[in-house]
Amino acid sequence: MTDTKAARAALFRDRNFFWLTSGAAVSMLGDQFTLIALPWLVLKMTGDTLVLGTVLALISVPRALFILVGGAMVDRHSPKQVLMWTKHVNAVLLGLLAAGVFSGALTLPVIYALSLGIGVATAFSIPSATAMLPHAVRPEHLGGANSVMLGLRQFSMFLGPLLAGLLIALFGDGGGTHMADAKGIAIAFAFDAFSFAASAWTLSHVVTRNANEGTQPAPVAVWTSIRQGLGYIGRDAELRTCYLYWAAVAILVMGPLHIALPVLASTQAGLGASALGLMLGAHGAGTLLGMGISGAKPQLRLGTLGTTMLVLDVVIGLLFMPMGHIGAAWQGALLMGTIGMLGGFMQVRVFTWLQRRLPPALLGRGMALFMFIFMGLVPMASAVTGWLLRSITLPQLFAASGALLVLTALVAAVGSPLRRINDRSAAQA
């Protein structure tokens, strides 16, 4: 316990960590402002859900398509350099959105173009941000640093929408004729632009630990670099098994959850929109609690890291199975809160293990592939879930998804090296 407290105290005295977390906190909060303001702006301008879907697709599709390219660029240059580029680009794009709303000159084609730019920039910012910590903090502080950073993201997802909604309501939500009263939306975009500029300034104070971080001996074509990264992961039995297993989790649980939970709240008697908010809020609170436990108890596990992951996923699968039969909001909140806590606990451990397990020259590509699983496969699994719900019932969907996750974890435990995976560095591996 004393060692844990001493390590945590040393982490918070680390100036690199201070600059990273202070900038990340502002930037994460700003992201939530745009996530609220952009859909609201589009709906107020057009009232067309098809246009809204197009705008969101212009952000999400390029992000999924180019995230592996972003990872390759991170490894070619450095996480800090690529992350700095994306912060400057996003500050300009959000500043243009804010200026367009303030002036009343914003048109739909401009929104399309700016949304596309944001999507492409995000494809580069995600792998650079997730690869940044190992280059900025000491290896023994990585678990605690991930716990804090992921916890900050989770907290911003709770606080940001509340503040953004209040800001837009107070200063103007575009309810007037021809968007005459949209200053609240403009301020939200302006704050996000400021958050990118501020986090770029804090990032400039971070001193990376390796002068040649992420550089390759000889530059190669981007697609060649991607193939090399995928080939390395494919030849490493532990990494290959983990990525395939995480893909199964994304498809079997995370994808269905995005569709099934809103459908459950809207169709089940006694639930409704308030119940959906309560269940999502409980999941967020549980995730934050799990991340906090993981940071406070870094040695807490059931044998190896792999065994812990498999056991917790079996429990999550069992908790997922009765979701289709709940009759009260508190039941769903209890199940979702527990699922969130277990998932949040493992999320910190997995991030930390992966950052240590990947060679430094592959961090960008490895983390990009990890994020692609959840940003690329989850939306596709959600779309398939929507199609499946035309043929099966919600209780059948929840039961089948949970049972398949349990079965996948059990098969992985007996037929793969997953349960033997332990916390160790890339050099030890």
* pLDDT, block means (10 residues), the chain with 429 residues: 66 87 91 85 81 82 88 88 94 94 89 93 90 84 83 81 80 62 87 95 86 51 85 90 90 82 78 76 86 84 89 93 88 91 90 87 88 82 81 89 93 89 55
Q: Is 153 contained in some domain?
A: yes
Question: Same domain, yes or no, for 180 and 35?
Answer: yes
Q: Is 429 contained in some domain?
A: no
- Which pLDDT score is estimated for 213? 46
280/424 Cα distance (integer angstroms): 34
Q: Is 38 contained in some domain?
A: yes
Q: Is 425 contained in some domain?
A: no
- Which pLDDT score is estimated for 177? 47
Which residues, 6+ apart, have CB-to-CB distance to 212 below 8 Å? none
Alpha-helical segments (H) within 321-427: 329-357, 363-372, 378-388, 394-415
The CATH number of the domain holding residue 107 is 1.20.1250.20
Question: Same domain, yes or no, for 195 and 269?
Answer: no
Closest CA to 150 of 334, 294, 257: 294
Q: Any idea how long the chain is?
A: 429
121/242 Cα distance (integer angstroms): 27
Q: Is 379 contained in some domain?
A: yes
Question: Same domain, yes or no, for 207 and 239?
Answer: no
What is residue 232's DSSP assignment? H
Q: Is 428 contained in some domain?
A: no
- Which pLDDT score is estimated for 56? 80
Question: Same domain, yes or no, for 261 and 205?
Answer: no
Q: Is 427 contained in some domain?
A: no
38/188 Cα distance (integer angstroms): 9
- Cα angle vertex 134, ends 219, 233, to 5°? 55
Q: Which domain-ending residue is among 191, 215, 239?
A: 215
For the beta carbon of residue 221, count every other beta carbon within 10 angstroms: 9
Question: Same domain, yes or no, for 315 and 370?
Answer: yes
Question: Same domain, yes or no, for 130 and 204?
Answer: yes
Q: Which domain-ending residue is among 198, 215, 232?
A: 215
Question: Same domain, yes or no, for 288 and 175?
Answer: no
- Which pLDDT score is estimated for 182? 77
Tokens 């527990």 belong to which residue?
A: 338
Question: Same domain, yes or no, for 42 and 170?
Answer: yes
Question: Same domain, yes or no, for 171 and 34?
Answer: yes
Number of domains comprising the chain = 2
Please report, for residues 18, 100, 351, 365, the alpha-carbon distance to residue 73 in angstroms, rounded to integers and kept in the order given: 26, 31, 20, 8
User: Six-digit token pair at 403?
Assistant: 């049972």
Question: Same domain, yes or no, for 228 and 209?
Answer: no
Question: Same domain, yes or no, for 407 and 271?
Answer: yes
- Which pLDDT score is estimated for 219? 65
At 399, which amino acid appears? A
- Which pLDDT score is estimated for 312? 94
Question: Same domain, yes or no, for 234 and 326?
Answer: yes
- Which pLDDT score is estimated for 174? 63
Q: Is 296 contained in some domain?
A: yes
Tell me the torsion sign for CA atoms 272, 278, 280, 282: negative
Structural domain range at position 351: 224-420
Q: Which domain-ending residue is among 215, 239, 263?
A: 215
